[in-house]
Amino acid sequence: MLLRVGFLAPLVIYLAVFFGYPLLANLSMALREYTAASFYTGEAPFVGAANYAAVLADPVFGTALGNTALFTAGSLVFQFAIGLALAVFFQRNFPLNGLLRSLLLVPWLLPLVVSGTVWRWIFDQEYGVLNQTLLGLGVIDQGLPWLSSTSMALASVTVANIWVGIPFNMVILYGGLQSIPAHLYEAAALDGAGPWQRFRHVTWPLLRPVSAVVLMLGLVYTLKQFDVIMVLTQGGPANATQTLTTWAHALSFGELDFGLGAAVGNLLIVIALGFALLYLRGLRAQPGAPVAGRRG
CB neighbours of 15 closer than 8 A, spacing ≥ 6?
none
The reply to whether 32 sits near other proteins by the rule CB under 8 A is no
Q: How far is CA 159 from CA 33, 88, 117, 165, 201, in A?
A: 38, 22, 14, 10, 31
Helix (H, G, I), strand (E, B) or coil at 32: strand
CB of 108 to other proteins, least distance (A): 18
Q: Which stretch binds other proteins (CB under 8 A): 174-182, 200-208, 210-218, 261-269?
A: 261-269
- Tell me the three state secondary structure of residue 46: strand
Identity of the residue, 45 or 205, whose beta carbon is nearer to other proteins in the bound complex? 45
Provide the minimum distance between the beta carbon of 194 and other proteins in the complex, in angstroms, as a whole number: 47
Residues numbered 212-241 forming contacts with other proteins, rule: CB under 8 A: 224, 226-227, 230-240
Tell whether omega for the bond before 237 is within 30 degrees of 0, i.e. cis. yes
Query: How far is residue 146 CA from its own chain's centroid?
Result: 21
C-alpha 118/C-alpha 140 separation (Å) is: 22
Q: How far is the CB of 213 from other proteins (least distance, A)?
A: 23
The HSE-up count of residue 210 (CA atoms within 13 Å, CB side) is 22
- Residue 83 within binding range of other proteins, rule CB under 8 A: no
Amino acid at residue number 153: A
- Binding piece for other proteins, criterion CB under 8 A, among 4-12, 196-204, 264-272, 288-296: 264-272
Of positions 8, 9, 25, 139, contacts other proteins by CB under 8 A: 25
For residue 104, the minimal CB distance to other proteins (Å) is 25
Residue ranges in contact with other proteins by CB under 8 A: 17, 21-23, 25-26, 29, 35-37, 39-42, 59, 113, 117, 120, 124-127, 145, 147-151, 153, 224, 226-227, 230-240, 245, 248-258, 261-262, 264-265, 268-269
